[in-house]
Amino acid sequence: MNVPYADLRAQYHSIKPEIDEAVLQLLDSTQFVLGSRVAAFEDLFAPYCHAAHAAGSSSGTSALHLALLALGVGPGDEVITTPHTFIATAAAIGYCGAHPVFVDIDPVSFNIDVSKIEPAITPNTKAIVPVHLYGQPADMDPILEIATRRGLGVVEDAAQAHGAEYRGRRVGSIGDLGCFSFYPGKNLGAYGEGGAVTTNSAELDEAVRVLRDWGAREKHHHEVKGFNYRLEGIQGAVLAVKMAHIERWTEARRVVAARYDESLAGSAVVTPHALPDRRHVYHVYSVRSDDRDALAAHLSADGIASGIHYPTPVHLQPAFAELGHGRGDFPEAEAAAASILSLPMYPEMPVEFQERVAESIHAWSAK
Ligand SMILES: Cc1ncc(COP(=O)(O)O)c(C=O)c1O
């Protein structure tokens, strides 16, 4: 049997009766957009993130767009982020008419190198968007210190980091706002698209809620030009059920990661480095190898799936050619993109599958 990268069916089957009942009730309620199940989910998700508020949105991308707009990011502004991320982080900055300004990553954590943020600040800088890539929080204390001193907003891209912690604080409650994705394969996955914006500020939460629903607090009265960025009722129903299980799944991911760490020791790959003051939630378990493509081909020949998150840094994507970047501008991000390989990782992953992955990597290492 092949080893899949993830197995969404295994998770569905483990909670099928609860999900099926919640979805059937939702259908009967006909609250297909927002509604009481979305509100119930928001009431569970905010405290889970140690945040005062959570507003569901139509995706992680719309969550980022809403958060940036709520902070007042607009045309001509600059927003600092990392090029080693999913395209959505930079795209959302662009949707506001603002420009992403990239800062290279720290090669150990794969997250923004905080020592390089300050030189990237200009009079046009409005905000910083650290990405908690793969489920490990960025180094938030220095980021907050710089942001406070320089009068900048902080939006956490926590799309891959539900439940991750930095020095005892949960992501989504550390910056001004936090943005989550519930794309099906995420640590907390909807059965379709979904996202959320968290914040401790009642004012920012209100701004997000108004913007996600056509800029209207009351029907037919549009205070601002808003969007159709609402979370569907069916996703609220599914996500509310899943909140009872998210901690168990997160701990299961951490067990899978610990097993990989141990079983891959002495092989030719570099395993991820979990920093001691953080709770890494392993959305992605990414190893490094100088011969990555050969390793991926070897695993594939052994029936083992793998992924690359992400093969081309955002500053080298054609979509952002207007920024005028070239190869060599962000060497650590480029080196990471060329050497990373994401191994199969999901809470229900059987031990035998993990053993097969480790055996295959050791066999390749011995070649
Ligand atoms: C780091 C990061 N930011 C933003 C997003 C966008 O989320 P979504 O796909 O829900 O729009 C994703 C998800 O793919 C992501 O991994």
**Nearest ligand 1 atom to alpha carbon 283:** 16
Smallest CA-to-CA distance from 201 within 54, 43, 357, 300 is with 54
Per DSSP, the chain holds a count of helices (H) and strands (E) of 12, 14
**Ranges of the chain with pLDDT below 50:** none
Res 19: pLDDT? 98
Residue that finishes a domain, picked among 192, 210, 242? 242
Strand partners, 157: 131, 179
What are the residue ranges of helices labelled H in 216-350? 233-242, 246-263, 292-301, 331-339
79-107 residue pLDDT tens? 999 999 999 999 999 999 999 999 999 99
Choose the residue to mutate in 57, 59, 61, 186 for probing ligand 1, maximizing ligand atoms within 8 Å of C-beta: 61
Strand partners, 302: none
Span from the CA of 365 to the centroid of ligand 1 (angstroms)? 33
Examine the domain organization and report whether 297 and 312 are in the same domain.
yes
Token pair recorded at residue 355? 């053993």
Examine the domain organization and report whether 228 and 252 are in the same domain.
no
Span from the CA of 362 to the centroid of ligand 1 (angstroms)? 33
Helical (H) or strand (E) element with 68: helix 60-70
Active site includes 186? yes
Choose the residue to mutate in 62, 134, 181, 309 for probing ligand 1, maximizing ligand atoms within 8 Å of C-beta: 181
Residue that finishes a domain, picked among 227, 242, 257? 242
CB of 197 within 8 A of CB of 207? Answer: no
Examine the domain organization and report whether 207 and 180 are in the same domain.
yes
Q: What is the domain-level CATH number for residue 261?
A: 3.90.1150.10
Examine the domain organization and report whether 88 and 221 are in the same domain.
yes
Q: How far apart are CA 214 and CA 220, in angstroms?
A: 9
In a domain, 277, yes or no: yes
**Nearest ligand 1 atom to alpha carbon 64:** 4
Res 114: pLDDT? 98
Token pair recorded at residue 44? 């569970």
Nearest CA to ligand 1 atom 7: 60
Instruction: Please name the amino acid found at residue 340.
Output: I
**What residues are in contact with ligand 1 under a 6 Å CB criterion?**
59-61, 85-86, 88-89, 131, 157, 159-160, 181, 183, 195
Examine the domain organization and report whether 163 and 295 are in the same domain.
no
Smallest CA-to-CA distance from 175 within 279, 267, 70 is with 70
Span from the CA of 298 to the centroid of ligand 1 (angstroms)? 29
59-73 residue pLDDT tens? 999 999 999 999 999
Token pair recorded at residue 202? 């009642």
Res 367: pLDDT? 86
Burial class, 264, CB count within 10 angstroms (exposed 0-12 / middle 13-18 / buried 19+) = buried
What residue has token string 């199940």?
Answer: 37
**Nearest ligand 1 atom to alpha carbon 131:** 1
Res 52: pLDDT? 98
Cα distances (Å, whole numbers) of residue 230 to 91, 210, 235, 336: 19, 10, 11, 35
Examine the domain organization and report whether 151 and 271 are in the same domain.
no
Span from the CA of 54 to the centroid of ligand 1 (angstroms)? 17
Residue that finishes a domain, picked among 222, 242, 262? 242
Examine the domain organization and report whether 190 and 60 are in the same domain.
yes
Res 351: pLDDT? 98
In a domain, 97, yes or no: yes
Q: What is the domain-level CATH number for residue 146?
A: 3.40.640.10
The residue range of the domain holding 232 is 8-103+110-242
Span from the CA of 236 to the centroid of ligand 1 (angstroms)? 18
Choose the residue to mutate in 111, 183, 227 for probing ligand 1, maximizing ligand atoms within 8 Å of C-beta: 183
**Nearest ligand 1 atom to alpha carbon 61:** 11
Span from the CA of 195 to the centroid of ligand 1 (angstroms)? 9
Res 74: pLDDT? 98
In a domain, 1, yes or no: no
Burial class, 282, CB count within 10 angstroms (exposed 0-12 / middle 13-18 / buried 19+) = buried
- The catalytic residue among 16, 116, 126, 186 is 186
Examine the domain organization and report whether 158 and 131 are in the same domain.
yes
**Nearest ligand 1 atom to alpha carbon 85:** 1
Question: How many domains does the structure of the chain reveal?
Answer: 2
Nearest CA to ligand 1 atom 8: 60
